[in-house]
């Protein structure tokens, strides 16, 4: 039986107040990140000043989304015994960017998930409204973190991934 990582977000736009990304591991353990407004504003400001060398303005959101998912997965990998049999079920929160997000995950998670590849390990999905992952993402968005391992990342952690992203979007 593979380890299952379900990924979902809550909020209309990654740069809206309260936007949250959640991961549920094996339908039991819940992890997440609620994107603070000051970090959102700083990333937008830095991008406008060309700090991230992102040519296409539409590629900022999938890169930031991917960076947060990567940071969450790295933290989970440190705390859990991950097998080499795993599956990422990623909700298409950023419509039309699934392939780019998958490529960024593969590029940045080779150490934690050495056998990671798109065909065998990453799938696009839709989570039902009453699923644990949907409830977790929604609760994070609302600021309810009971039972969720909620992480805080600083700007430098997110920017480290943004700056080394080689995937063209």
**pLDDT per position as a tens digit, 135-160:** 999 999 999 999 999 999 999 999 99
Q: What is the pLDDT, as a whole number, of residue 167?
A: 55
- Residue 55 above 90 pLDDT? no
The arithmetic mean of pLDDT across residues 112-126, rounded, is 86
Q: Name the average pLDDT for the chain.
A: 90
Cα distances (Å, whole numbers) of residue 45 to 19, 28, 38, 167: 18, 37, 10, 22
DSSP state of 80: S
Q: What is the pLDDT, as a whole number, of residue 136?
A: 97
Number of Cβ within 10 Å of residue 135's Cβ equals: 18
Give the lowest-confidence range in 31-45, 81-95, 126-140, 149-163: 81-95
């Amino acid at each position: 039986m593979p380890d299952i990582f379900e990924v979902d977000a809550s909020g209309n736009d990654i740069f809206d107040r309260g936007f949250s990304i959640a991961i549920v591991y094996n339908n039991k353990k819940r992890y997440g990140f609620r994107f603070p407004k000051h970090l959102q504003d700083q990333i937008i400001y830095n991008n406008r000043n060309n700090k991230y060398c992102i040519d296409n303005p539409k590629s900022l959101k999938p890169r930031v989304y991917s960076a947060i998912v990567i940071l969450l997965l790295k933290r989970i990998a440190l705390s859990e015994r991950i097998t080499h049999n795993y599956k990422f079920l990623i909700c298409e929160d950023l419509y039309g960017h699934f392939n780019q997000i998958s490529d960024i995950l593969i590029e940045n998670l080779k150490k934690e998930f050495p056998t990671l590849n798109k065909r065998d390990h990453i799938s696009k999905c839709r989570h039902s409204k009453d699923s644990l992952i949907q409830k977790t993402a929604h609760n994070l968005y609302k600021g309810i973190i009971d039972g969720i391992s909620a992480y805080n990342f600083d700007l430098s952690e997110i920017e480290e991934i943004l700056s080394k992203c080689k995937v063209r979007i």
